[in-house]
Structure 1
Amino acid sequence: MGRLTPRGPAGPVRRLAAAYAGSVRLRLLALVLAPLLVGAPVLLLIVWSWGTEGYDQLLVNKVSSDLGTARQYFERVQGSLRTGLEGIASSHRLAVTLEGGTGGALRRLLDEAAEDQGLDYLLLLDGRGMVRAGGTFPQPSDRSGWAVVREAMQGYPQHGLEVFPPEELEALDPALRRTARIPLVPTRNARDDRRSVEERGLVIQIAIPIPGAGGRVSGVLEGGVLLNGNQGIVDRLNSIVYQEASLPMGSQGTATLFLDDVRIATNVRLFEGQRALGTRASKSVADKVLDRGAPWLGSAFVVDDTYVSGYQPLTDTAGRRVGMLYVGFLESPLRDTLYRALAGLCLLFLLVSGLGTLVGLHGARAIFRPLERMAGVIARIEAGEESARVGPTASRDELGRLARAFDHLLDSIAARRWELQRSAAELDRKVALRTAALEEANATLRRAQQQLVMNEKLTAIGELTAGVAHEINNPVAVIQGNLDLMREVLGGDIEPVRDEFRLIDEQTRRIHAIVTRLLQFARPGDFAGYAEPTDVNAVLSDCLVLTRHNLTRARIKVELQAKAAGTVEMNRGELQQVLINLIVNAMQAMPDGGTLTLDSRDISAGGNGPEADGTGEDGLGDRLPGSEPFDGVLVGVADTGHGIAAGDLDRIFDPFFTTKKQTGTGLGLSISYAIVQRYGGRIVVDSSPGSGTRFTLWLRRQASYSDQPTAPFFEAQRIGTGD
């Protein structure tokens, strides 16, 4: 095809611009190569920038989460020490020793208690805060100057962090002063400090009041744990925060406790096998965390390498910043891996760009030929050759089809119009079919989302149950221990209240069983209850015995209609737990009294019996909607209370949903549902505001085990509600 030739003198740039303007070939080449030669480098720069920025933010988020976990564990350690000391303060042994024991007996008791609780010292103070036993004080010493002791003298258990001077540590135990003494190691980038040794001690201090006659405080137990050199706490903290395989690519997690900016307990290594005790935090970290009280999140130089670090200030009981809590992990292995990945990505981009350029040039050459032939035809027609045509072409792409259809343009337009009309009708039909398919897919998605929400709640419960079990089992152990002691003290005089003691024993065991069921609800596969043939009527009778005092006090009339003759395969204790939970819920729904109806009846898979046609007392018959015929026992718990609001009915089995905001946890019905469904049964509810509520348990004669719910909770709830 022809090219425009610039007139007059022209430089290389002008000639290139004129050639570009007059040549489709050059413009096509520019369009093909521009994305590869210009877009690829720009895209690489964007990917590199976003990748490094996003990775840095990911590391900061990771260390922030780790720091929160470390803080929770450190607070849990302090709470555990306080709980243990409270148990000693309220123990019978301490009370007996205080009444008739000698100074030696008191000292032995304190030493044994300190060893059992992992305390570095334990003092017995009188009501005025004076040391009565413990320590190595040369003369009577007044401890009322410490904040936690003053709180305990007022009757309030208290704990917190305190910095003990070396003289105080010497008076408590000379060994504590020696343990607290840490030589300072010169550290690069640290603040100026003329000291050569740290002799103060960072102590978890606990003070618990000892109850006396008339509700007054007769004394105080003061104990503490020295954190200087306490590697057990930081090692345990590090193992919790950085569990195995939580840091990929060879990184290493560390944890440290600081007194001011000095490492007093750490698993950071200074040399092989030697911890970096006595080294100090960098000045920039100390200024931000200790002086301004703000957490540090990001890269920081730690001893001899760069770590992704999280620092948080530690305060004493007066709110003064006295130290820092640190967690972090090596940055270099993760950073090296990121750079290797980005470099590999750049090389891959360059390789793809080179191959794309070659392919583009080859493809452009095939395009030029039909274009040049079409341009020649246009020139011939302009010259007056009316019969000029493109003629046959070997090209099978869009340009080839355009050349072949050049002589039949009008017919093609008509054919295209008819084809568009037919396509529009076909499109309407496909849209209708697709709309129906999308509606069905949306319904499936909603069910999947509801199952996902339930699984997420179960996961949250699994993380929570370990702490709940620890916090509940401690007071239960204290109750059980004191109960055994009362039996031993009362001896034969226990006969008038032996049944009450037995019931207390049973209920403490039941508390332990409930904690276990909470774990069982969160991880049902790890807890398989022992199933046995269970008489439902006998369990109903036992439940009424356990709850008769509360029902009588609440002025609730009980109607028992136990018609079931067969047994169900289920753990008896779990069935009792479910029924007591439903009875207690019914009682709470009738604050002004009412009628509680408990009933049971047999149902048969074969359809034999008066209720086989679906006309049973509960209106449900012998078949769950959407399920196979059911063989087992139906148990009903009905009340005449205020009923359940329509907006709450679909959520009552959800974990943590409760309408009793001050007293309820929202786990009772969820656990009950999980227990029954594990054995292949179901729980359904029928309720409306003002008309009372009825829960019906479908219990199988032969259990069909399930570790996870097979349908969202609300599907079972709507059975019998008319929804």
Structure 2
Amino acid sequence: MMSKGLPKFNLSGPKGMRVPITTRLILNYMLIIVLISTVFIVVGILLINDRIVAEEHNNIRQDLNTAREIYSGELRHINDVVHLTADRFIFKDGLLSDDIGKIAAELEQVRKHEGLDLMVITDAAGHLLVCGANPGVRGYDLSNDDLIEVVLIRKKPYAATSIMPVEVLRRWADALADQACLILIDTPLARKMIETELHDGMMLKAAAPVLDYEDDLIGVLLGGVLINRNYGIVDTLKETVYENLTYEGKDIGTAAIIQDDVRISTNILNEDGTRAIGTRVSEEVYNRVVIDGEAWIGRDYVVNGWYIAAYEPIRDIYNKVIGILYVGVQEQKYVDIQRQTILAFLAITLLGTLASMMLSYLLSKRISEPIEKLAVASRAIAGGNLEAKVDVISNDELGDLAKTFNAMASSLQERDQQLKEFTQNKIMESERLALIGQLAAN
């Protein structure tokens, strides 16, 4: 039958192997520190990555808002010029008196002064009377022009971005048709296309009614700026938002105006330093922005490098997506910031880990030293040195254990002394009895 007794606990290491308690304490502390540090590092890196990505997207979203405001501001400027010009008496009187020469001269002067590529006046039916850039052109029916059509119906000024067919541009001025024409450049990640050239242009346009003194419609004034190869907006945006800053020899920020999926105005540069007009956006961006009509923000390969990019649709007066407004910042800038932040974080974490390990070592020694002294004293008592004692240096469980050990040692010493005295007395009594026996025998 098995005897029932106190439970036995194995306080040693693996069988046949003695592991000092100091070592076990240090190893356990280090294991905890390493596990916590690992979790801290992983979570920290994930949080840093998420924070930087969120910051990237927030910054580029603000840049896109600024780009939209600059683009809309240019359109408002054209609208103001056209609207105010249409209200001038010289054009009212010129149309009423059919003084085309006077109108043409003044219209061309306004066009040049305001930096417009096109200014035309039609009659109340939409037929061309005067073309500022080409005074010899007359009589064409422009009533099907998107803005002129709306103004003829509603008799209010309107401004919008429009696609201008090459034949219309050439009718007004050969220079405009030539400016709009771009050779398409094969671009990585772009959708497949059969066309090799872009002929139509994209124009910021405004149209306003010319009313007589009875507020009856007597004509329509149309003005516009061709965006193709016109870098005013994108360069203004770069100067305003990115302050022409560079990073590793390249512009830190870029902008572009895109017709369908073709960059027609941009400060993105090719490898040879020329502007990357004629290059195209990725198929993913095209599908999201032009096909689905949604804004797109994210990491994108732009011409010859990776950028944190933002795209949003450009719509015509009928709300049809005809192009894209783009801003982007070099991804490498954020990659380097991310790398530097993570390295600094790792350095701080590793220093903290090393400091924790040193502290755990000192703490382990502080805990184990009294235990080791107890072990030495126990071995001394086991060897017969009942005078062995340990110093009580703490007021905790280890201090209580030291006091108990010293009390036990004192008790053993006292009992040993009593046993010695008892034994000595017995020996002396035995010797006395033996002496008495000898005397009796004699």
TM over 0.5, shorter chain: yes
SS of 1:125's partner is strand
Cα 1:26–1:92, aligned 2, differ >3 Å: closer, same or farther? same
Contact 1:180/1:229 (CA < 8 Å) preserved in 2?
Answer: yes
Conservation of the 8 A alpha-carbon contact between 2:203 and 2:224: yes
AA partner of residue 147 (structure 1):
D
Indicate conservation of the 8 Å contact 1:367/1:399, yes or no.
Answer: no
What secondary structure, in the 3-state scheme, does the structure 2 residue paired with 1:213 have? coil
Q: Tell whether the 8 Å contact from 1:374 to 1:390 is kept in structure 2 after alignment.
A: yes
1:36 aligns with 33
User: How far apart, in 2, do the equivalents of 1:301 and 1:392 lie?
Assistant: 72
1:345 aligns with 2:345: yes
Give the distance between the partners of 1:359 and 1:217, measured in 2 at CA. 89
Shift of 1:405: 11
Unmatched tracts of structure 1, length 5 or more? 7-12, 382-386, 408-723
Amino acid at match of 1:329: V
Would you say the 8 A contact 1:201–1:227 is kept in 2? Answer: yes
CA distance in 1, matches of 2:255, 2:146: 29
Moved more, 362-371 or 286-295: 362-371
Q: Report what 1:212 is aligned to.
A: 212
State whether residues 370 and 403 of structure 1, in contact with CA within 8 Å, keep that contact through their aligned partners in structure 2: no
Q: Is contact 1:254–1:266 with CA below 8 Å preserved after alignment?
A: yes
Q: Alignment partner of 1:141: what SS? A: coil
In the TM superposition, what are the counterparts of 1:76-475 in structure 2 within 5 Å? 76-100=73-97, 102-134=99-131, 135=134, 140-153=139-152, 154-243=154-243, 252-373=252-373, 391=391, 393=393, 402=399
**Amino acid across the alignment from 2:151:** A
Alpha-carbon distance change, 372 to 250 in structure 1, aligned in 2, over 3 angstroms: farther
How many Å separate the matches in 2 of 1:152 and 1:379? 109
Q: Deviations over 1:589-617 (max 9, x none)?
A: xxxxxxxxxxxxxxxxxxxxxxxxxxxxx
Aligned counterparts of 2:211 and 2:395: Cα–Cα separation in 1: 96
Deviation at 1:283? 1.2
Per the TM alignment, residue 359 of structure 1 is displaced from its structure 2 partner at its CA by 4.3
Q: What secondary structure sits across from 1:270 in the alignment?
A: coil
User: In 2, Cα distance between the equivalents of 1:214 and 1:106?
Assistant: 20
TM-score, normalization by structure 1? 0.49
1:271 is paired with a residue whose SS is coil
Q: Aligned residues: percent identity?
A: 24
1:194-235 Cα shifts (integer Å, max 9, x gaps): 222111000112110112132211111011110101111111
Provide the secondary structure at the position in 2 that maps to 1:78: helix
2: CA distance between counterparts of 1:94 and 1:133? 11
**1:592 corresponds to:** none
Distance 2:75 2:66 in 1: 15
Alignment of 1:693-712 (within 5 A): none
Q: What is the rounded CA distance, in whole Å, between the counterparts of 1:250 and 1:184 in structure 2? A: 24
State the shift of 1:137 in Å: 7.0
Helix, strand or coil at the partner of 2:32: helix
Q: What's the offset of the Cα at 1:399?
A: 5.1
Secondary structure, aligned partner of 2:270: strand
Q: What is the identity, as a one-letter code, of the residue corresponding to 2:285?
A: V
SS in 2 for 1:195: coil
Call closer, same or farther: CA 1:354–1:249 in 2, change over 3 Å.
farther
How far apart are the structure 2 equivalents of 1:273 and 1:107? 41
C-alpha separation in 2, matches of 1:220 and 1:160: 15
Contact 1:370 1:399 (C-alpha < 8 Å) held by counterparts: no
Whether contact under 8 Å (2:92, 2:211) holds in the other structure is: no
Q: CA deviation at 1:180?
A: 0.8
Deviations 1:74-133 (A, max 9, x none): 112111211121111112332343345732221111101111222111111111111111
Distance 1:273 1:380 in 2: 87
Rounded Cα–Cα distance in structure 1 between residues aligned with 2:219 and 2:251: 51
Q: Which whole-Å CA distance do the structure 2 matches of 1:207 and 1:399 have between them?
A: 91
How far did residue 360 of structure 1 move?
2.6
Alignment of 1:490-569 (within 5 A): none
Q: Does the 8 Å CA contact 1:390/1:404 hold for their aligned counterparts?
A: no
- 1:465-492 CA distance string (max 9 Å, x none): xxxxxxxxxxxxxxxxxxxxxxxxxxxx
What's the secondary structure of 1:189's corresponding residue?
Answer: coil
State the partner residue of 1:49: 46
CA distance in 2, matches of 1:362, 1:121: 84
Using the alignment, how far apart are the partners of 1:251 and 1:213 within structure 2? 53
TM-score by structure 2 length?
Answer: 0.78
Larger Cα-atom Rg? 2
Give, in angstroms, the shift of residue 167 of structure 1: 0.3
Q: Which runs of 5+ in 2 are unaligned?
A: 1-7, 382-386, 405-442
Instruction: Judge conservation of contact 2:307–2:331 (CA < 8 Å) in 1.
Output: yes
Deviation digits for residues 514-569 of structure 1, max 9, x if unmatched?
xxxxxxxxxxxxxxxxxxxxxxxxxxxxxxxxxxxxxxxxxxxxxxxxxxxxxxxx
SS at match of 2:263: strand
* Deviation digits for residues 140-162 of structure 1 (CA, Å, limit 9, x no counterpart): 11111123212222311111111
> Does 1:60 find its partner at 2:57?
yes
Q: Is residue 85–residue 117 contact of structure 1 (8 Å, CA) maintained in 2?
A: no
Matches within 5 A, 1:682-701: none
* 1:374 and 1:403 in contact (8 A); partners too: no
Contact 1:289–1:312 (Cα < 8 Å) also in 2: yes
Contact kept? 2:392, 2:403, Cα under 8 Å = no
Partner of 1:583: none
- 1:333 is displaced (CA, Å) by 2.7
- Give, in angstroms, the shift of residue 51 of structure 1: 1.3
CA deviation map 1:609-637 (0-9, x unaligned): xxxxxxxxxxxxxxxxxxxxxxxxxxxxx
> What letter matches 2:311 in structure 1?
Y
* Corresponding letter in the other structure for 1:275: R
